[in-house]
Amino acid sequence: MSHEAPLFLKTVLITREAKQAHSFAAQIKKLGGIPLSLPVLTFARSNNEKEVEEVLLSIDCFDWIVFTSQNGISFFFEWLKELNISWSALKRLKVAAVGEKTAKLLEKHDVNVQLVPKEYVAESLLESLKANVSHHERVLLVRGQLARSVLKDGLKECEVTDLVVYQTIRNQDSERLVKQHLETGIDAITFTSSSTVKFFVESIKDIPNWLELINRTKVVCIGPITSQTASEYGIKHLVPNTYTINGMIDMLVSCFE
């Protein structure tokens, strides 16, 4: 590995869920860095089975389906499979996705996405929906239990059904290693959601000088909402112009130039 590699021997802590961390870690490694994949959270299907079944068995009564995360898509299609519901029978439905990656995952499921906002945050998605959804149309929001209520609150004039299909859970298996790496020293920490910030802090808050240790590193947050959560904890950080993993990679590279 060349000493001129942009992230040469820089240790980068990835806090996102294990399955989602692979491509992120591969890009860091390609740039000469040392990725430390220590997921502070994990995901599980929602335990409100009766509600999910009732909604999905009557899904053809909706006009719009709105997906706010890739996780929501994965669990949504798991539920459809279990209930023996074919998406091909639902192609008349209009679909909105919070961002480009979410839209691409839907396309892999043969879903045609009609609406993707310019900025990959709920506020931008809400404005796009307001401009495209008629007041008489029924909207299904597919989300996790920790998603903010921006869309639900902002679409009050429409008939909205808020459906939690998965839950985000703190991953206690990684906590010992997270503490160990933070205390021995790392070069950068990446946060891809408010939940990763929250669970990371919860996992290390018994270290007396935890905030000082974090602020010795380069911290990159994926977007403004994650940034807001980091700021609430007093964490110094940077946010890329593009709210994507590639944007975070570019920001890391610029940090160590």
Read off the pLDDT band of 3 (50, 70, 90): low
Closest by CA to 193, choosing from 224, 154, 169, 162, is: 224
Closest by CA to 116, choosing from 91, 140, 138, 94, is: 94
Read off the pLDDT band of 73 (50, 70, 90): very high
Q: What is the mean pLDDT of the chain?
A: 92
Question: What's the pLDDT score for residue 229?
Answer: 97
Question: What's the pLDDT score for residue 158?
Answer: 87
Question: What's the pLDDT score for residue 257?
Answer: 83
Is the confidence at residue 2, as pLDDT, over 60? Answer: no
pLDDT tens digits along 177-211? 999 999 999 999 999 999 999 999 999 999 999 99
Is the confidence at residue 168, as pLDDT, over 60? Answer: yes
Closest by CA to 12, choosing from 187, 177, 182, is: 187
pLDDT tens digits along 118-162? 887 888 999 999 999 988 899 999 999 988 888 988 898 889 999
Question: What's the pLDDT score for residue 211?
Answer: 97
Spatial contact of 184 and 24, defined as CB atoms under 8 Å apart: no
CATH number of the domain at 42-167, please?
Answer: 3.40.50.10090
Question: What's the pLDDT score for residue 157?
Answer: 83
Burial of 52 (0-12, 13-18, 19+ CB in 10 A): buried
Question: What's the pLDDT score for residue 121?
Answer: 81
- Mean pLDDT, to the nearest integer, of 35-53? 93
Local structure of residue 80 (DSSP, 8 states): H
Spatial contact of 20 and 168, defined as CB atoms under 8 Å apart: no
Angle value at C-alpha 64, between 59 and 69, nearest 5 degrees: 95
Distance from the Cα of residue 197 to its chain's centroid: 12
pLDDT tens digits along 14-38? 999 888 889 999 999 999 999 999 9
Alpha helices in the chain (DSSP H): 18-30, 49-57, 70-82, 100-108, 122-132, 150-154, 175-184, 194-204, 210-214, 224-232, 245-255
Residue 155: count other Cβ atoms within 10 Å of its Cβ.
Answer: 21
* CA–CA dist 252, 189 (Å, integer): 10
- Mean pLDDT, to the nearest integer, of 84-88? 87
Domain boundaries, the chain: 9-39+170-184+193-228+242-253, 42-167
